[in-house]
Structure 1
Amino acid sequence: MSISDPKSSKPKPARANRNAGPQAPMEALLADVAFDPLRRALWLDALDQRLRPSLPPALAPHARVANVDGGRLVYVVDAPVWRAKLRLVAQDLLDAARSLGLDATELVVKTTTLPFQPPERPKPKVTPMSAAAKQALQSALASLVDPKDTGSKDS
């Protein structure tokens, strides 16, 4: 199965057959020419997922497919050390891309200064409610209930 670049295909009309019945929301969204960038982003993400097994396990979380431009397969990494490690497996990665139907002849590696995943925020400390606070809350809630409303609601 080959992956074809959505950028290389002809633009599609907003909706070829308006009498074909309802479309799924995502199909309707992607059918519009205005959403070509979204379609391309989804394609690049799918390509990234297909090429990820070709990367060494330590490198995979630090490298992402950024673009395919003609014969250039562009990756972005989150530190210079990963750039060097990615260049070491460049031929394997290009072979994997060609096996998916891409005409990849060159690997370009860009480095970002931001990590791919934001740092985890510390979880707020939850302190249990004291017995006195729990009792006060229950009393307050009980005082809100009208004793006349405890019967049936026939009216």
Structure 2
Amino acid sequence: MSGSRSRDDRPSVPQPALDALLAGPAGDPLRRALWLDALDLRLHPCLPPELAAHARLANVDRGKLVYVVDSPVWRARLRLAATEILDAARSLGLDVTDLVAKTTASPLVAKPPQVERTVKPMSAASRDALRAALDSLKDPDSA
């Protein structure tokens, strides 16, 4: 059996899930996404502070940095900062000449779901125990 692996060829230690996922060409999209995320983290400090929460690097494609912003206002602000962002990207070794800003309809950062809390009334026994605990904390000399 020239092309098959025998039972003895298998590694004795299980491969970590991430390593297995990244192995071979099937992991290429994930490796690219991780690279883009790391690049976004490095370029993020170069964005104007008010813009940083509204822009995210989406791609690097044929010499263009592609950013996604969450409204047309931030798109205009990103385009005004394009020279500084491109300079920062070039300083990281990227061969980029243009910045493209695309607007998304949804927010870039998902808001955490709102948890509704219901306030239960305190029982008489709990109220009495709390009152007794608070009374025990009072300084006897202050009375």
Q: Report the TM-score when normalising by structure 1.
A: 0.67
Aligned 1:133-152 pairs, distance under 5 A: none
Residues in 2 aligned to 1:102 and 1:21: alpha-carbon distance in whole angstroms: 38
Partner residue in 1 for 2:73 = 81
Q: Give the letter for the 1:79 counterpart.
A: S
Alignment partner of 2:32: what SS? helix
Displacement after TM superposition at 1:121 (Å): 3.5
Q: Give the letter for the 1:47 counterpart.
A: L
Detail structure 1 runs of 4+ shifted over 6 Å in the superposition: none
Higher helix share: 2
Q: Give the letter for the 2:96 counterpart.
A: A
Runs (5+) with no aligned partner, structure 1: 1-16, 135-155
Q: 1:55 aligns with which of 47, 68, 73?
A: 47
Q: 1:43 aligns with which of 23, 28, 35?
A: 35
Partner residue in 2 for 1:90 = 82
Question: How many residue pairs align between the two structures?
Answer: 118
Partner residue in 2 for 1:6 = none
Runs (5+) with no aligned partner, structure 2: 1-8, 127-143
Is 1:101 equivalent to 2:99 in the alignment?
no
Q: Give the letter for the 1:69 counterpart.
A: D
CA RMSD of aligned residues (A): 2.4
Q: Classify 1:18/1:63 alpha carbon distance in 2 versus 1 (closer, same or farther; 3 Å).
A: farther
Task: For CA contacts below 8 A with separation 6 or more, give which structure has more relative contact order.
Answer: 1
